[in-house]
Structure 1
Amino acid sequence: MNTVGLFLTSVLIWGSTWLVITFQLGTVPAEVSVAYRFGLAAALLFAWCAFRRLPLRYPARVHSTFALQGLLLFGLNYVLVYFAEEQISSGLVALIFSLLVFCNIAAARLFFGTRIRPATVAGALLGFAGVVLVLLPEIRTSHASGSVMLGAMLAGLSTISASLGNIMAAHHQRRNLPILQANAFSMLYGAVLVALYAAARGQAFTFDPSFAYISSLLYLAFFGSVVAFGAYLTLVRHIGADRAGYTAAAIPIVAIVLSTLFEGLQWHLATFAGVALSIAGTVLVLRTKSTPPPTPAPTKLSPIR
């Protein structure tokens, strides 16, 4: 697949997963659906590792960092996303989650000492202002403004959790741990930890046999967690992480368009302005050349939806 195909595959799949998540909500508790999703995704990745005869033996201390990444990136992050989408549209959650780019930069500064340039600060302010502009009409016109604010808060917390998970992913890259195996183990641990949390809360491990639930589960596990990630990593290998990072600016556009078509997301003047500001802020940050340490920093990591 050429570069354009890899870019479009990553953007269209990850951009669509926000809407597909809504088909997981309802009958099965959100925590249980997350456990199902990443348990299945981990099984697929382990099967691929076995097919390619990739090494899967790591010491206990490495497994502890896999578990922490799983808890943050594939556990808490996604539980909060599912909860957020029970309150607000998937497009709004995706736009809020686009702040991950800025959270990654702040986290890289905190944990790795990466320098933050003035243009990066300006981009972060633009992105945050854009999200606020989009949310304001929703809060003012909604009959359940409390739900909008709760959904926004949950989406914001999920973004922070994902950013901390990206720090662990960067830690694994610094130690030259293979990404495929690291994510397989992390997804497995994330699924197990979420399942334990659901059991502790007394959630029933039910299953929805409907076509919508099963097809969305398979789509999220296979396409959202395996195919798109593979396409993105190949894209990074072809054109570099900086240029591949522009998927972060395009993914919210796809998510918002789909939310408009299928969820009835209402557009206002502030919505147009806010989306434009948010995308402009992301592009400005991605265009800014940072001065990270010689080992990989998590600024350009792309989230798996």
Structure 2
Amino acid sequence: MNNTLLYVLTVLIWGSTWIAINYQLGDVAPEASLVYRFGLAAAVLFVFCWIKKLPLAFNLRQHAQIMAFGLCLFGVNYYFLYLAQQHINSALTCIGFSTMMIINILNARFWYKTKITKQVYYGAALGLFGIITLFWPQINDIDIGAETLLGLSLCLAGTLFASSGNMLSIKNQQMKLPVMQTNAWGMAYGSLFMAVLALVRGVEFNFSLTLPYVSSLLYLSIFGSVIAFGCYLTLLGRIGAHKASYATVMFPAVAVVISTFVEGFVWDLTTVIGFICIMLGNLVVLSPSKQAAKEESGSQKRQTEVCEQEITPAKA
């Protein structure tokens, strides 16, 4: 798939998963649902790899790195985000998690010395401003007390782990570890971690055989995990975390559009301004920079000159 399709699939799928997550809440503990989600996703990936005869064997050092990747991206970060939502509303959680783009920019700079253009910073700032504006009615009356600060701290901790998982995914791909197989093992490790954590906390592993729960679990496992994470992590390796992570800012915008049709959400001025800022930020971040365009133009010019020299017959 080309980068555009990978990005669009990631944004559309993860922007719609909030509907499925709503159906997961209720009789089954969130920790148990996460175990089911990533356990099923890992099983699907392992079966796919087996059918396609993709190698699943890794050495001990590679498994240690894949385990760290899986715990960060498919385990610990989700646990902290679930804890955060016990203290703050979903709007604040969404805003907190959207800061992953800024964290990814800093981490990419720290881990890989990635050069970040000014337009990425401008686009990120515009996108985050759009997110805050989009959710302003929900956060306007919130009192910044100990409970809110605790929730935001937990949310930030989860986001830091998610960003670390992003960096480890890039490292995996630099080591030529295939995305599909590392995702299979990573989700298995993440599911195992959540299972152990749930057992330690005394969480009951019940299951709901209702159509809404089962169908939402299948959607989150197949589309939200197998497909979306595959697209997103592939994109990380191709265009860098500082650009790919703008998808986390786009999710709420997609969710608002879906809510408009599904739940009858009514737009107001803050919704319009927030949505426009998010979309403009997306264009700023993902548009080729002038420097990149100049380098590409120069590269094409050099290739043309080489071709012309090869075609022109040598003089006697």
* TM-score of the two chains, using structure 1 as the length reference: 0.78
Cα distance in 2 for partners of 1:145, 1:283 equals 36
Note the residue ranges of structure 2 that are not aligned, 5 or more in a row.
Answer: 293-316
CA contact (8 A) 1:29 1:204 kept: yes
Q: Aligned in 2, Cα 1:126/1:159: closer, same or farther, shift over 3 Å?
A: same
The aligned residue for residue 72 of structure 2 is: 72
The residue type equivalent to 2:115 in the other structure is: R
CA contact (8 A) 2:107 2:167 kept: yes
Residue 215 in 1 paired to residue 249 in 2?
A: no
Residue 100 in 1 paired to residue 115 in 2?
A: no
The aligned residue for residue 118 of structure 1 is: 118
Give the deviation of 1:189 after TM superposition.
0.2
The aligned residue for residue 182 of structure 1 is: 182
Residue 46 in 1 paired to residue 54 in 2?
A: no
The residue type equivalent to 1:48 in the other structure is: F
Q: Secondary structure at the match of 2:17?
A: helix
Give the deviation of 1:207 after TM superposition.
1.1
CA contact (8 A) 2:166 2:233 kept: no
The aligned residue for residue 20 of structure 1 is: 20
Cα distance in 2 for partners of 1:145, 1:139 equals 13
Cα distance in 1 for partners of 2:281, 2:264 equals 26
The residue type equivalent to 2:41 in the other structure is: A
Q: Aligned in 2, Cα 1:236/1:129: closer, same or farther, shift over 3 Å?
A: closer
| Deviations 1:121-167 (CA, angstroms, capped at 9, x unpaired) | 22222222223323332123579999887766655443332211100
The aligned residue for residue 191 of structure 1 is: 191
User: More displaced, 182-191 or 155-164?
Assistant: 155-164
Q: Aligned in 2, Cα 1:228/1:116: closer, same or farther, shift over 3 Å?
A: closer
Cα distance in 1 for partners of 2:55, 2:235 equals 24
The residue type equivalent to 2:284 in the other structure is: L
Q: Aligned in 2, Cα 1:192/1:3: closer, same or farther, shift over 3 Å?
A: closer
Cα distance in 2 for partners of 1:150, 1:266 equals 31
The residue type equivalent to 1:286 in the other structure is: L
Cα distance in 2 for partners of 1:165, 1:234 equals 13
The aligned residue for residue 136 of structure 2 is: 136
Give the deviation of 1:53 after TM superposition.
1.0
Q: Secondary structure at the match of 1:26?
A: coil
CA contact (8 A) 1:94 1:256 kept: no
CA contact (8 A) 2:16 2:255 kept: yes
CA contact (8 A) 1:16 1:255 kept: yes
Q: Secondary structure at the match of 2:207?
A: coil
Report 1:1-305 matches (<5 A).
9-83=9-83, 88-89=89-90, 97-141=97-141, 155-229=155-229, 241=239, 245=244, 248=247, 250-262=250-262, 267-287=267-287, 289=289
Q: Aligned in 2, Cα 1:158/1:275: closer, same or farther, shift over 3 Å?
A: farther
User: More displaced, 35-44 or 282-291?
Assistant: 282-291
Cα distance in 1 for partners of 2:89, 2:264 equals 11
The structure with more radius of gyration: 2
CA contact (8 A) 1:123 1:280 kept: yes
The residue type equivalent to 1:47 in the other structure is: V
Q: Secondary structure at the match of 2:254?
A: helix
| Number of residue pairs aligned between Structure 1 and Structure 2 | 287
| Deviations 1:43-97 (CA, angstroms, capped at 9, x unpaired) | 00000011011111111111111111111111122234445567545x7755654
The residue type equivalent to 1:125 in the other structure is: A
CA contact (8 A) 2:102 2:124 kept: yes
Q: Aligned in 2, Cα 1:3/1:55: closer, same or farther, shift over 3 Å?
A: closer
Cα distance in 1 for partners of 2:148, 2:258 equals 19
Q: Aligned in 2, Cα 1:154/1:212: closer, same or farther, shift over 3 Å?
A: farther
The residue type equivalent to 2:278 in the other structure is: S
Q: CA RMSD in A?
A: 3.6
CA contact (8 A) 2:179 2:233 kept: no
Cα distance in 2 for partners of 1:169, 1:2 equals 19
Cα distance in 2 for partners of 1:135, 1:217 equals 27
Q: Secondary structure at the match of 1:203?
A: coil
Q: Aligned in 2, Cα 1:272/1:35: closer, same or farther, shift over 3 Å?
A: same
Give the deviation of 1:268 after TM superposition.
3.6
Cα distance in 2 for partners of 1:55, 1:179 equals 12
Give the deviation of 1:185 after TM superposition.
0.4
Q: Secondary structure at the match of 1:76?
A: helix
Cα distance in 2 for partners of 1:262, 1:152 equals 29
